[in-house]
Amino acid sequence: MGHFNNFKVTVYCVSSILQNMDLETLEKQYEFIEKYVGLDKVYLEPYRGSHWVEKDKIREIAKFFKDRNVEVSGGLTTVVPDLSDEDKDKQRLFDTFCYTNPKMREHVKKVSEYCAELFDEVILDDFYFTNCTCEECIKAKGDRSWVDFRKDLMKDVSENLIVGPAKKINPNIRMIIKYPNWRESYHATGYRPDVEKDIFDKVYTGTETRASAYQDQHLPTYLSYSLPRWMDDASEGRNQGTWFDTYQCWPIDDYLEQGYLSAFGKPEEITLFQWTDLYENKLVTPLGLQFSRIDKMLDKTGKPVGIPAYIPYASQGENHVEDFLGMQGIALYPTTVFPGEGSVLVTESSLYDKDIFGKLKAFMMAGGKVFVTPGFVAKAPEDEWREISSAYLTGRKLSVTRYYKTDDPAGYLEDVSPVSFADIQHSNNLSWSLLNGGAGEYHSTLFLKDTYGKGKLFLVNVPENPSDLSKIPGWAMDAVKQEFNYDGIYVTAPDVSIFHYDNGTFILYAHVTDHAHPVRATIHIQSENAKLLQYFAPWTPSGEKEIELTAKSMRYDLKRVTEMTGEVILNPGEFYEFKVTKE
């Protein structure tokens, strides 16, 4: 029996550490990690670059863990030092392999075979990419694009140098490919989930977001939840786990949030990288407690669900806009699969699907609801876009300091912090603006509705800097969320994400930002006969508390609507679980 009901906690151990590890030190480090986190499984790495760990050493360490009822699997990292003088001219980032070079091809095959002799399960760390543009690679590429060349090259490597040789040595081995956190660049470097899902037994997802503002990848925290969801669909349900590390995490919440959001997605495993980085590290000490609290919450949930954000394989454009929206309470579920009904978000990345407009039209004809971003509009073929909307980008930018709700005769909010938006114009009364933003005597639409068949299309004017979504007043964001929500539930509060499950439960998480303080949040339920229960509520004997709901009537989209609303206080860095029942 593991430490948690809903996931295993695993730790990856790199070869350079294992090479020199003695059992006394290992015992001391194990006791710390077991005390503060709870250890269910380890991945032991026999090879990384110039580090080879002897088989007897690996077996000794593996026995140590097995004696403590810790599962043991293997890992390898595909980096290599120069194997010859000629290799010095190859400009290989992080010493990744040149997979057209015969010596390096033979070397990586040897590594895979070595690991297969030791383990029945092996995971590849996320250096399994290539950026090599040496003479050998240029010659092998020929007239193909780099994307197509690397797709073919890494398929060959995966089949004939990694998985094939490993299974020949050990027919029962399970081979896992771990994908990094930079999904938008996979295809440029040879990572192809659409191909590799049929070669490897399982996949794994990097959920390292770290300190978003202070490291080069600038990844919103919501990615720790959203990318595994995308990967699970991309691999046809074979995502085994998530993986994050301690690097560039300032303050401590930047580390912990990676774990929280990874867990909210209910993976089989959550892997912490790497062994000695965890030992006597203050970042790690709250993790076991917090995982225990989340695990109890997950006992009450079903399967994670949300509004599909359609991100096809091998696509890029408006990267992570779906994550910035998720940070502000839009419950998005990125996927490679275009949905058959309900709602869908499409972004510039969605245009990599050449049939996207045919899918959108059929979707709306059947009554579907489509949300589009400015990037989609900017790059869409004009004739196809004009078929479904009158909106167009003028090319100007507007610094908005005033918000206006169309349905509210006194719905103005002025002199607010400026936010830059694309200036979007449309044909009045052909398209209908539900929220406007302006300055001086000018304004532009921020949330625009069109109709098509039985369905609707909404243009969401995401700010030029998508992080500025957090600067839009909650009162104004509500005009968007009243349509752009999952299951008729949304929350008025800044920097709060909502995570839905298919049994009516949802979790709210208040992100830790530069303005961390408790916030008063309003939960909206678009049903007049709803009840709202909070689980694990403080100061209650049973831990359950029914939230008092108040009916609120308003005009929206030219109609009178009624919602049930409840008030709660959310503390930054905390998570809260609720269940909605509708009669």
What are the CA-CA distances from residue 484 to residues 207, 329, 342, 460, 487 (Å)? Answer: 26, 10, 11, 9, 10
Backbone angles phi, psi at 224, to 5 degrees: -60, -20
Question: Which residue has tokens 């359609």?
Answer: 310
Give pTM, 2 decimals.
Answer: 0.97
pLDDT on residue 1: 60
What are the CA-CA distances from residue 106 to residues 48, 101, 127, 154, 170 (Å)? Answer: 15, 9, 18, 15, 18
Nearest-angstrom CA–CA distance, 177 and 180: 10
Query: With the C-alpha atoms ordered 97, 100, 102, 108, is the resulting torsion angle positive or negative?
Result: positive
Note if the bond before 494 is cis, omega within 30 degrees: no
- Give me the helices (H) in 269-401, please: 275-278, 287-298, 321-327, 356-365, 374-379, 382-386
Please state, as a whole number, how many other Cβ atoms lie within 10 Å of the Cβ of residue 344: 23
Nearest in space to 44 (alpha carbons), one of 70, 8, 67, 5: 70
The whole-angstrom distance between residue 87's C-alpha and the CA centroid of its chain comes to 36
Nearest-angstrom CA–CA distance, 7 and 266: 7
pLDDT on residue 93: 87
Strands 442-452 vs 432-439: parallel, antiparallel or unpaired = antiparallel
Q: Can you list the positions of beta strands (E) in 2-57?
A: 8-13, 41-48, 51-52
The domains found in the chain, sorted by start residue, are 8-299 (3.20.20.80), 301-484 (3.40.50.880), 487-583 (2.60.40)
Question: Which residue has tokens 């000794």?
Answer: 60
Q: Would you state the structure tokens that stand for residue 154, as one six-digit string?
A: 């890494």
Q: What is the DSSP string of 524-540?
A: EES-TTEEEEEES-TT-
pLDDT on residue 355: 98
Please state, as a whole number, how many other Cβ atoms lie within 10 Å of the Cβ of residue 228: 29
Nearest-angstrom CA–CA distance, 410 and 206: 47
Give, in degrees to the nearest 5, the angle at Cα 277 between 271 and 283: 80
Mean pLDDT by 10 residues, the chain (583 residues): 94 97 98 98 97 97 98 98 90 94 98 98 97 96 98 98 98 98 97 97 97 86 98 97 96 97 98 98 97 98 98 97 98 98 98 98 98 98 98 98 94 96 97 97 97 98 98 97 98 98 98 93 96 92 93 95 97 97 87
Please state, as a whole number, how many other Cβ atoms lie within 10 Å of the Cβ of residue 345: 26
Number of residues in the chain: 583
Cβ density class 6-44: b for 16+ within 10 Å, e for less: bbbbbbbbbbbbbeebeeeebeebbeebeebbbbbbbbb
pLDDT on residue 436: 98
pLDDT on residue 487: 97
Nearest-angstrom CA–CA distance, 581 and 8: 31
